[in-house]
Structure 1
Amino acid sequence: MKIFITGTDTDAGKTYCTAALLQGLQQRQLKALGLKPFAAGVNADGQNTDALALQSATDLPLTYQQVNPVCLVDPIAPHIAAARQGLTLTFSQLTDAVRAVEHYQTDFTLVEGAGGWMLPMTDDDYLSDWVAELGWPVILVVGMKLGCLNHALLTVQALQHAGVPLVGWIANCIDPDMLSANENIASLQQRIPAPCLAVLPFAAEGVASAMQLQLADAVINSVIHRR
């Protein structure tokens, strides 16, 4: 089972949620790995911190290059960062990244996108086109903050238009001071035609083990239900 993880926006918490899901699946004794084929922005060692987080959360001997084969230097939109480096992003790079780890024969492969759903790759292509072409199920991470209702519902509308199955969505509470957070979550539960897989509270120390397991179970149940 391959699942694509997208978000309502940059910094919605895709990596935070993907790492939590990986760890929850592994608690269920399932074989799972996380990939971030494109990443923009590097640390002092020339590596992307989101990709490193996925590598750390994956209980398999993945190299950094396997997790993140295309690492762009500038922390900006990937197609712009790539152009600055004289590179062109292609669907074949994405497909090659997934094929390169297929020998692990995982129960779940989680492929994290960059930015939101409609991420430009070139002047003509979008990352969403590649996901739609493959027909992969999608998990939407909603960064709970002012404006998230519009972002979430527009993204769901775009997912429906693309014809990709929505496994469910995660309410990721990125703003601890958000007013009426529970009411916003309830509004999304009413309007999104897919289950809320988890509400992840703001936690500087990371997602608790019990919450990781709850998230994993919700994803497993949703996938089974869809089948």
Structure 2
Amino acid sequence: MSAPLHGIFVTGTDTEIGKTRISAAIVALLGKCGLRAAGLKPIAAGTELIDGERINEDVHALRAASTLALSAAEICPYQFDAACAPHVAALLEGRQIERATVLTAVAAAAARADRIVVEGVGGFRVPLGRAEAVGAAGADWDSADLATDLGLPVLLVVGLRLGCINHALLTAEAIRARGLRLCGWVANTVDAGMPEVAHNLDALARGLGDAPCLGLVPRLPVPSPDAIAPYLNVPALHTIFDTQDHVTETP
């Protein structure tokens, strides 16, 4: 990127572990400081037809949380109908996810925003290049490359369920191997019946080292930004975003 961006990149230990919900809650918190905050998800797969329009629920949630007015296309230049791996969804539509297009879209939104929250797709290493080129040297790119291109600090959403420790530590290792800063992690409850949660959280805290825990979110009946906010470490988030001088209210 030609100009430094102000915000974070949000990734997860897997797909369907609450990245969008956490991202939207953080965007809303920034907006409550009076900042022009934008939630971006450059690539999204899976839409449903609502009132004659194809809608991706993640893009819709980020748009609703943002205080900077952006169109769905500005938030997400690549929306695909099939709910599958994005490079496959693109192939099904005869399209290709262009790296330059994604970076241009993020830069354009960032130029109008005070802070951005860029949500990745799936986990940290999801193929984005041509389906037929996956694995071919120099012919493919993935969501880790996108995070590296943006150069933003990375927040890891850990889906609390069996296996999350291994997934989190491997993801953190991959993030740091790219030279990126893991600025923190949020534990989001996926399995409400997960046993020995405290021991798992302790193992995560030790394994993730100097990256602080930025929240422990339970299963919520309506996981709206306002419902999630009380479970986030708001002062730590303001420090990460360098927004302490803008704080006007605490949720």
TM-score after normalising by structure 1: 0.92
> Structure 2: where are the runs of 5+ without partners?
1-5, 135-139, 243-251
Give deviations 1:64-119, integer Å, cap 9, x for gaps.
11111111110000001101111111211211211232342x23101111000001
Alpha-carbon distance in 1 for matches of 2:196, 2:76? 37
Out of 203, 207, 213, the residue aligned to residue 220 of structure 2 is 203
CA–CA separation in structure 1 for the residues paired with 2:9 and 2:111: 19
User: 1:135-185: per-residue Cα shift (whole Å, max 9, x none)?
Assistant: 221110001111101110000010111110111000011211111112211
Instruction: Specify the SS of the correspondent of 2:48.
Output: coil
Give, in whole Å, the separation in 1 of the partners of 2:119 and 2:225. Answer: 21
Q: What is the aligned residue count?
A: 223
Measure how far apart 1:209 and its partner are: 3.5
The structure having more radius of gyration, on CA atoms, is 2
CA distance in 1, matches of 2:71, 2:241: 28
Identity rate of aligned residues, in percent? 37
SS at match of 1:71: strand
Q: How does 1:44-59 map to 2 (within 5 A)?
A: 44=49, 45-59=53-67
Match of 1:98 among 82, 99, 106: 106
Which of 143, 148, 163 aligns to 1:147? It is 163
Equivalent position SS for 2:54? coil
Question: How far, CA to CA, are the matches of 1:209 and 1:87 in structure 2?
Answer: 37
Residue from 134, 137, 143 that aligns with 1:127:
143
Which of 68, 76, 90 is residue 68 of structure 1 equivalent to?
76
Structure 1 residue aligned with 2:249: none
Shift of 1:210: 7.7
Cα deviation, residue 218, structure 1: 1.8
Is 2:175 the counterpart of 1:159?
A: yes
Rounded Cα–Cα distance in structure 1 between residues aligned with 2:229 and 2:173: 28
1:77 maps to amino acid: A
- Confirm or deny: 8 A CA contact 2:10 2:156 kept in the other structure: yes
* Conserved 8 A contact 2:189-2:217: yes
Question: What is the alpha-carbon root mean square deviation over aligned residues?
Answer: 1.7
Match of 1:35 in 2: 40
- What is the alpha-carbon distance in structure 2 between the residues aligned to residue 217 and residue 84 of structure 1? 44
Q: Letter of the 1:109 partner, please give it.
A: I
Q: Note the C-alpha offset of 1:36.
A: 0.7
Q: How does 1:187-198 map to 2 (within 5 A)?
A: 187-193=203-209, 194-198=211-215
